[in-house]
Amino acid sequence: MNSPTGVVLSWAVRPSFRQYVADLPDGREEWSGVTLSSGGAVEFPADPGAPIAPAAGRTSVTYAFTGAISWWGHGGALRVQVRDPHLHLVGEGRSTLSVRQAGNGADGRPVIAAFVEHHVDAGILHVPLPRLTWDGVSLFGDVYEVGAPLAPLQVALGHQEVSTCGP
């Protein structure tokens, strides 16, 4: 297993949603086990118990993170939580972002976003255009359409060997 030292997922989620909640009279955003960057992105630390780099010859890798960000509003009618995100990268094809929802065990990880484009530059993995899946639409209260864009994702790869998966 590789050490996750310095590996961090930085993601603003969907800025318009976060602003909408902030503008509600009873809207609130809360964090647990994450930090907020000066640019407004939520920074999820790597899960220390999870491997973070693909083995030689593998065509996929999962980057696992811990922490949660939650939103409430409309007298409790709006409740959204993004918890313990996992970034599943494949060398070619559809890569995904899944989360653990409140009350779900390890098997309860809906895929909330999908993407095909990602690249590494200067030790940072960039995902420029993650898009909502059906489960992502449901997570955000059915107010967005499938394929709606989310904020770009960045993973600081820290001290680990920089690698995108692939042959």
Element (H, E) at 30: strand 28-32
CA 71 to chain centre: 15
> Domain extents for the chain?
7-157
Percentage of the chain surpassing pLDDT 90?
63
Pairing of β 86-90 and β 60-64: antiparallel
| 45-99 pLDDT, tens digit each | 999 877 655 555 567 888 999 999 999 999 989 999 999 999 999 877 789 999 9
| 149-161 pLDDT, tens digit each | 999 999 998 755 4
Contact status, residue 151 vs residue 10, Cβ threshold 8 Å: no
- Residue 166's pLDDT band (cuts 50, 70, 90): very low
In this predicted structure, the answer to whether residue 106 has a pLDDT above a threshold of 70 is no
